[in-house]
Amino acid sequence: MGRTFSSRTGVLSPVRVAGLAVAPYIRIMSTRTRPAWLAAVTVLVVAVLCAVVVPSGAAAGAGVARGLDSLASASASASASASAGAGAGADAAAGLGAGQGSEAGPDPGAGGDGWVGTWYSAPVEAEPGGGPARTVRNVVRTTMGGSRARITVSNLFGAAPLDLRHATLATAAAPARTMRTLTFHGRARISVPPGGQAVSDPLTFEVPAAADLYMSVYAAGAVTWHPQALGTSYEVPGETDRAADPGAFAGTTGAWRYVTALDVEGPESARGSVVVLGDSITEGVGSTPGADRRWTDVLAERLRNLRQRSAGAPLAVLNAGIGGNGLLTGRSGPSGPDRFQRDALGRAGVRTVIVELGINDLLSGGERNADALLAGMRDLVRRGHARGVRVLGTTLAPCGGLRACTAQVEAVRETVNAAIRGGGVYEGVIDMDRILRAPDSPRELSPPYDSGDHLHPSDAGYRAVGAAIDPGAL
């Protein structure tokens, strides 16, 4: 809001004008840390204002007032910039940038700045016994290419700081030639506080689509992990930094540690990403480990092929599945609503979210009220709309044959599915129940689609789901 200046004649004298205009600069220079160039600016302002012949009349007074407002705004901006610069310097010293100190803070890249997620792993919990120094080589699969890359390192569930000593990025096909060190506000080593995250500086790096990448981290301290990656990564314990070593690691692991996201920027990232918020069916339990045969992998492959035929920009697919996760219950990892912002709406370049949650609420007994489940689904849609994100959903898959899939569970499942199909819940429906169920026994998975546990699909079942999705709905 502009300030009003007055005098008995309606006109301010040049001396008064100079004094008012210079006052903010004097305040800025009141500490010893202000640079000498501000003093030179002050002298120049005084010289110019004292040379101005101030006309008479109310209009002239208004013009002077506007000029003072501009000077005051410039002064305030200079002061704010100086304060922000000091804060950023402190953050850089700690290894964290603005918005990176907390998982609840702004999600870099989610606001349409050209970055798009190409891989994601939803953080689940703190690794029991995690802490000793080690080098972890996380093997991740991209769904979109780009010419620049950045990663996110999370300490969401850590009770102590994460000492991130060295992080690198390389392609699995040519690690020796492509290995690059990642920095965080110009620093290779940082400390990530409990509950926080750190996003690396943009790195010029040719990220291929549909390729394996190595995200290697040498660290000590708290470990936030995704324990069921359904693939093979590598680790080496000890105080020796192996992050930049392109050679093979002896130790293997089936988990992803420390890293939660890989984002890309470039021509291919124009359209954005589809995020799937789900449970173990999205995570891919029952599929062949290490073969990338989840239904989200099938969908990503179809979208890439479609793009190649139409020469349009592709959509990346981000898998935010957590085994055992619930829509309203947090039996394994945070519940759907609790993680919806971080794992879905906060992802870089998100355009559409697919929700595949609810069956574990029924099977675990955490929530067996159909109205409560449907209200939870509608709430996610409402939150998506508030961010301009389209929210689709799946029906609940068959579970007949499981001991926990009682008559009560089946009744609620059928009620929920009927409501989803009837509209008024999601903006679009992927009818997983009808895709997977046996024709002659609709409460059960079709035998070719059953991995053997009567809940999780086989490779063929996952392919059927991925193949049934209409790309136009995305």
DSSP string of 359-419?
A: HHHHHHTS---HHHHHHHHHHHHHHHHHTT-EEEEEPPPP-TTSTT--HHHHHHHHHHHHH
375-433: pLDDT as tens digits: 999 999 999 999 999 999 999 999 999 999 999 999 999 999 999 999 999 999 999 99
Alpha helices in 159-202 (DSSP H): 175-178
Strands 125-126 and 224-226: antiparallel
Nearest CA-CA partner of 224 in 130, 361, 359: 130
pLDDT of residue 297: 98
pTM for the predicted model, two decimal places: 0.78
3-state secondary structure of 406: coil
Q: Quick one: 271-474 is in which CATH superfamily?
A: SGNH hydrolase (3.40.50.1110)
3-state secondary structure of 225: strand
81-122: pLDDT as tens digits: 333 333 333 333 333 433 344 554 335 445 457 999 999 999
Task: List CB contacts of 424: < 8 A, sequence separation 6 or more.
Answer: 378
First to last CA, the chain: 44
Q: How many CA atoms lie within 13 A of 210 on its CB side?
A: 14
Helix 58-94 to helix 14-28 angle, to the nearest 10 degrees? Answer: 10
